[in-house]
């Protein structure tokens, strides 16, 4: 089954589709959509979100998904903070974000996207 991003790419002109399908950000979005779909989530385009959900967001996440009333919003970042690879080899890495709490935040890497 194709993801919403893959279906969107199919509707684009060939030259645009080729460029976007090779884009690293687009590849990660598709991989995140596939994983969420395998986990039983329904993927929504921003335009198809219910009004009450869209009103709370104030922006357009890369992926919007819902399962049993639980909403998940994915932001894909393809830039790695400096030196993270060295830190990962030496031990655990904690990413600090300017948010109130990390309680409802997960970090996915290559391994998590492959399962």
Q: What is the pLDDT of residues 20-64, one digit of tens each?
A: 989 999 999 999 999 999 999 999 998 899 999 999 998 899 999
- Are 4 and 45 in contact by the 8 Å Cβ rule? The answer is yes
Provide the sign of the torsion angle of the four alpha carbons 71, 48, 42, 5, taken in this order. negative
pLDDT of the residue at 79: 86
What's the rounded mean pLDDT across residues 95-114? 90
Which residues, other chains included, contact 54 with Cβ-Cβ below 8 Å and sequence gap of 6+? 46
DSSP code of residue 104? T
pLDDT higher than 80, residue 82: no
53-92 CB burial, b ≥16 within 10 A, e <16 = ebeeeeeebbbbbbeeeebbbbebeeeeeeeeeeeeeeee
pLDDT of the residue at 57: 92
Average pLDDT over the chain reads: 91
Distance CA 3, CA 34 (A): 6
């Amino acid at each position: 089954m194709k993801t919403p991003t893959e279906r969107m790419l199919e509707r684009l002109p060939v030259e645009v589709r080729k460029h976007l399908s090779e884009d690293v950000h687009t590849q990660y979005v598709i991989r995140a959509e596939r994983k969420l779909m395998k986990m039983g989530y329904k993927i929504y385009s921003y335009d198809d979100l219910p009004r009450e959900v869209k009103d709370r967001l104030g922006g357009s996440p890369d992926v919007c998904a819902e399962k049993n009333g639980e909403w998940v919003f994915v932001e894909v970042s393809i830039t790695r903070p400096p030196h993270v690879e060295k830190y990962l080899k030496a031990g655990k890495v904690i990413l600090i974000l300017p948010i109130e709490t990390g309680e409802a935040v997960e970090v996915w890497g290559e391994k998590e996207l492959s399962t």
